[in-house]
Structure 1
Amino acid sequence: MIAQYIMDNYDKAAFMTAAKLGEKVGVSESTVVRFANVLDFEGYPQLQSELQEMIRTRLTTVQRIEMSADYSSEENTLKKVLKADIDNLRITMDSIDYKVFEASVKSITEAKHIYIVALRSSTTLADFLGFYLNLIRDNVYITSRSISDTFEMLFRVDKDDLVIGIGFPRYSSKTIEALHYAKSQGAKVLAITDSILSPLAANSDFTLTAKSNMESFVDSLVAPLSLLNALIVAVGIKEKNKVASSFAKLEDIWEQYNVYSNKEKSGK
Structure 2
Amino acid sequence: MTGGYHGGLERLLGGRRLSPVQRRIAHYLAENLDEAIFLSSVELAERAGVSQPSVTRFAMVLGFAGYPELRQALRPLVLGGPPEGPQETLLRGAIDSEIRNLTAVRERLAAFPLKELGAALAATEPLPVLGLRVSCGLATTLAYYARRIHPDVRLLTHGGSELVDGLHAAQRAGAEWVVAVVLPRYPSEAVQALGYAEKLGLRTAVITDKPGFPAEVVLDAPVGDRLVFDSHAAPLALAMALVEAMADAAPLRTQARLEEYERMTDETGTFLSGDPA
Q: If the length of structure 2 is used for normalisation, what is the TM-score? A: 0.70
Q: Trace 1:238-253 onto structure 2 (pairs within 5 A).
A: 238-253=249-264
Between the two proteins, what is the percent identity of the paired residues?
Answer: 21
Letter in structure 2 aligned against 1:86: I
2:8 corresponds to:
20
CA offsets, 1:71-130, max 9 Å, x none? 639x81221121011011112222345352222212211212211111111111011100
SS of residue paired to 1:171: coil
SS of residue paired to 2:204: strand
1:179 corresponds to:
194
Q: Trace 1:82-101 onto structure 2 (pairs within 5 A).
A: 82-96=95-109, 98-101=111-114
Alpha-carbon distance between aligned partners in 2 of 1:234 and 1:62, rounded to the nearest angstrom: 39
Alpha-carbon distance between aligned partners in 2 of 1:22 and 1:66, rounded to the nearest angstrom: 14
Query: Contact conserved, 1:96 with 1:208, CA < 8 A, in 2?
Result: no
SS of residue paired to 1:214: coil
Going from structure 1 to structure 2, the CA distance change for 1:122 and 1:257 (only over 3 Å counts) comes to same
Which segments of structure 1 move beyond 4 Å, counting only runs of 4 or more?
14-18, 21-25
RMSD: 3.1
Going from structure 1 to structure 2, the CA distance change for 1:22 and 1:128 (only over 3 Å counts) comes to closer
Q: Does 1:142 align with 2:101?
A: no
Q: What's the CA shift for 1:238?
A: 2.2
Runs of 5+ consecutive residues of structure 1 not aligned to the other structure: 1-11, 26-47
Alpha-carbon distance between aligned partners in 1 of 2:4 and 2:267, rounded to the nearest angstrom: 56
Alpha-carbon distance between aligned partners in 2 of 1:113 and 1:23, rounded to the nearest angstrom: 49
Letter in structure 2 aligned against 1:248: E
Letter in structure 2 aligned against 1:63: Q
SS of residue paired to 1:207: strand
Query: Contact conserved, 2:135 with 2:181, CA < 8 A, in 1?
Result: yes
Q: Does 1:152 align with 2:135?
A: no
Q: What's the CA shift for 1:17?
A: 8.7
2:231 corresponds to:
220
1:106 corresponds to:
119
Q: What's the CA shift for 1:24?
A: 6.2
In structure 1, which of residues 60, 65, 83 is the aligned counterpart of residue 19 of structure 2?
60
Q: Does 1:120 align with 2:116?
A: no
Going from structure 1 to structure 2, the CA distance change for 1:66 and 1:140 (only over 3 Å counts) comes to same
Q: What's the CA shift for 1:263?
A: 4.4
Letter in structure 2 aligned against 1:78: L
Query: Contact conserved, 1:105 with 1:235, CA < 8 A, in 2?
Result: yes
User: Which has the larger displacement, 80-89 or 90-99?
Assistant: 90-99
Alpha-carbon distance between aligned partners in 1 of 2:193 and 2:147, rounded to the nearest angstrom: 21
Alpha-carbon distance between aligned partners in 1 of 2:235 and 2:209, rounded to the nearest angstrom: 8
CA offsets, 1:31-60, max 9 Å, x none? xxxxxxxxxxxxxxxxx5xxx4xx54xx43
Letter in structure 2 aligned against 1:162: W
SS of residue paired to 2:113: helix
Alpha-carbon distance between aligned partners in 1 of 2:114 and 2:234, rounded to the nearest angstrom: 15
Alpha-carbon distance between aligned partners in 1 of 2:148 and 2:203, rounded to the nearest angstrom: 22
In structure 2, which of residues 240, 248, 265 is the aligned counterpart of residue 254 of structure 1?
265
Query: Contact conserved, 1:67 with 1:216, CA < 8 A, in 2?
Result: no
Query: Contact conserved, 2:119 with 2:245, CA < 8 A, in 1?
Result: no
CA offsets, 1:184-213, max 9 Å, x none? 11111001110122xxx21x1110001003
Letter in structure 2 aligned against 1:181: Y
Alpha-carbon distance between aligned partners in 1 of 2:243 and 2:267, rounded to the nearest angstrom: 27
Q: What's the CA shift for 1:257?
A: 1.1
* Matched pairs, number: 219
Q: If the length of structure 1 is used for normalisation, what is the TM-score? A: 0.72
2:94 corresponds to:
81
Query: Contact conserved, 1:160 with 1:187, CA < 8 A, in 2?
Result: yes
Q: What's the CA shift for 1:16?
A: 11
2:37 corresponds to:
none
1:37 corresponds to:
none
Letter in structure 2 aligned against 1:68: H
Going from structure 1 to structure 2, the CA distance change for 1:247 and 1:70 (only over 3 Å counts) comes to farther
Alpha-carbon distance between aligned partners in 1 of 2:9 and 2:274, rounded to the nearest angstrom: 56
Letter in structure 1 aligned against 2:8: K
